Structure 1
Amino acid sequence: MVAHDDKSDPILEEAMDWLLRLNAASQDSALACEFENWLAQSPEHRIAWQKARRTWRVMREVPPVYEHVWRREDPRGITIGSSRRVSSLRSRSHWGRRAVAASIGLAACVVIALNYPALSVRLQADYATGTAETRTVHLIDGTSVELAADSAIKIDMAKGERRVTLLAGEAFFDVTHDAARPFVVAAAGVDVIDLGTAFNVQLSATGTSVELSRGSVSVALPKKATNEMVLVPGEAVVVDRSTGAMQKSTIAQDDIAAWRDGKLFVNDVPIATVIEQLQRYHRAWITIPDRDLGQQKVTGLYDLRHPDRALRALVEPYGGTVRTVAPYVRLITRF
């Protein structure tokens, strides 16, 4: 069993560095000789080299689980994200030809990508948060909005309607009711309409979820007028992004918007979806190449203040291992 801690393995980091250098200068005999000397230093060096090669093969194929947030296109069709580094992660040939150049920008690009919502989202947002950052916004009508980490909202207080668009992440709304001016939260094609309430809305790669703490809300898909559901306190609904299907469930009051207390509560959701939520609280790039592991469904409560511990608690019961390849890379595997 590999020992687990929050620190990176210095020998493994050296092995990854050698792999980058050798890929970029495969014909350099002096470099090859220097590498052979490094490899012969100890059995640990040879083991680290084998791990590095295996990890490299996996990382060349798999994008980060949270890529949909920071890799987007602006209205001109230009991809926005972590620039050449993002493209390199998706191109085998680029890795081979320009590995060292890409590695130089790895830490900086990942930090930028994971500390802020996508640039296209930020350009639209009135308020936004970064990695592991939360914020409370007070609207002019008395409504308060608590933004979770890596979240963004756009506000439109028109005369006939108060509308907040959740552009990314998650937010808890405590709404000041006004019968003459409905309060609507728009989230990826889903409208959550206030009927005098406090509720949480979350976006993910696969859908929109709503949890109701107080009052009542109507959850509707404007493009599908027949799809509408009214929630009462202690109820939650998940709306599938691709099909529009709604799945209702019950939830304990203490578990609604548990992120406000530094916790993440999930009920029968895939590991990959939980990792997507943990990614908003982790400054490292997280990837889970094992699709079967990612689709395992879990129920549990995880500590957002210690995301590495949460990752381990999430995957280890299913045979997963969290590998710290570098300070800003976490690779989740079964080997």
Structure 2
Amino acid sequence: MRDNHFDSIDDQQAALWADRLAAGTLPRHETLKLESWLAADPRRANLLAAHRELIASAALRQALAGARAATARGRRPSASVWTLGGLALAAAAVIAVLAWPRPLKLETPQGRQQAQVLADGSRMILNGDSKARVALARRERDVRLERGEAFFKVAHDPSRPFTVRAREASVTALGTAFNVNRLADATEVTVREGKVRVVAAATPGRPVVVVAGESVRVSARGIEGRLRFNPAVADDWRSGWIELNNGRLGDLVTELNRANAARPVKLGATALGDLRLTGRFRATAPRETAELVAATHGLALREGPEGIVLAPGL
């Protein structure tokens, strides 16, 4: 296969996957099948991206709807497979080039996470109350984390750097799995596998390589203290836990509210946000966590229509 000439079976399969993705979120077992198919040949990601772009066009959507209607009237399922593949091939012949997909916009409400397989085969999990924009191009892969937190498992492709931008920080994957967390006054980068290159907006000429088992905090002042952890045993928000090592109470409250929509936790005084904590807290238990913090730090706890409020002690 050359860059823009693909095996016909791969092309038909890419058309089917693109149509399935356009119909909605894949169940877990199908997501695993798609990941396996993409991993077998890195060029398949480009082909899938092109077919997803084609299906996004109004004309092709109408053609696909017609094909599905014909299938519903009694056409054999195998015929629909070749119909979908043929439609995508015909559309590709019309435009004569393989197009890249439009930027993907992702947003989650409080209390809900979203897993997404990107067109290049990378995996992304968006935490609650988060927002991101993904743009995959021929020479680069760019994610802008506009709000919240996301975990990335990046598909290997040295010819197209994978970079996550989050206010103060720019994080480029060097073959890795990592987490980016936008907080009130900084961005935290935590590496679970491999390594990343972190560049702070305040000090663009001094990049730092962060390896598995390390995390850094990037603020308006630049890249701050490097912390170490054991990625084999450490939990994170994906497993329902929040771990802090001399972390801010304000950051704990942010994480709790991402995981819970019904009962937000609030601080009764701005200064409490800088209270330092170390511990392991269950993300889905805001009241129990607030009670623990209040008891160990001499704070007052009250509940009302506005939610759970932590205030200075009497």
Query: TM-score by structure 2 length?
Result: 0.63
Match for residue 193 of structure 1 among 172, 180, 203? 172
Distance 1:185 1:256, change over 3 A: farther
Structure 2 CA distance for aligned equivalents of residues 290 and 207 of structure 1: 20
Structure 2 CA distance for aligned equivalents of residues 313 and 254 of structure 1: 27
The residue type equivalent to 1:264 in the other structure is I
Counterparts of 1:73-112 in structure 2, within 5 Å, are none
Match for residue 282 of structure 1 among 246, 252, 260? 260
Query: Which residue in the other structure is 2:250 paired with?
Result: 272
Match for residue 173 of structure 1 among 147, 152, 177? 152
1:125 and 1:167 in contact (8 A); partners too: no
Query: Which residue in the other structure is 2:297 paired with?
Result: 318
Structure 2 CA distance for aligned equivalents of residues 253 and 151 of structure 1: 24
Counterpart check, 1:143 vs 2:122? yes
1:213 and 1:256 in contact (8 A); partners too: no
The residue type equivalent to 2:173 in the other structure is D
Counterparts of 1:180-259 in structure 2, within 5 Å, are 180-221=159-200, 224-240=203-219, 242-254=220-232, 258-259=236-237
Higher relative contact order (CA 8 A, sep 6+): 1
Deviation at residue 331 of structure 1 after TM alignment: 1.9
Query: Which residue in the other structure is 1:158 paired with?
Result: 137
The residue type equivalent to 1:297 in the other structure is R
Deviation at residue 287 of structure 1 after TM alignment: 2.7
Secondary structure (helix, strand or coil) at the match of 2:110 reads coil
The residue type equivalent to 1:235 in the other structure is E
Query: Which residue in the other structure is 1:99 paired with?
Result: none
Distance 1:163 1:198, change over 3 A: same
Distance 1:256 1:231, change over 3 A: farther
Deviation at residue 321 of structure 1 after TM alignment: 2.6
Counterpart check, 1:260 vs 2:229? no
Deviation at residue 224 of structure 1 after TM alignment: 3.0
2:202 and 2:222 in contact (8 A); partners too: no
2:175 and 2:194 in contact (8 A); partners too: yes
Deviation at residue 288 of structure 1 after TM alignment: 1.5
Cα shift readout 1:231-285 (whole Å, capped 9, x = no counterpart): 1110100011x21242211022156561111111111012122112212123334
- The RMSD of aligned alpha carbons is 1.9
Structure 2 CA distance for aligned equivalents of residues 210 and 266 of structure 1: 14
Secondary structure (helix, strand or coil) at the match of 2:175 reads coil
1:160 and 1:181 in contact (8 A); partners too: yes
1:200 and 1:256 in contact (8 A); partners too: no
Deviation at residue 125 of structure 1 after TM alignment: 7.0
Counterpart check, 1:308 vs 2:275? no
Structure 2 CA distance for aligned equivalents of residues 290 and 189 of structure 1: 26
Distance 1:125 1:265, change over 3 A: farther
Structure 2 unpaired stretches of 5+: 1-102
The residue type equivalent to 2:163 in the other structure is V
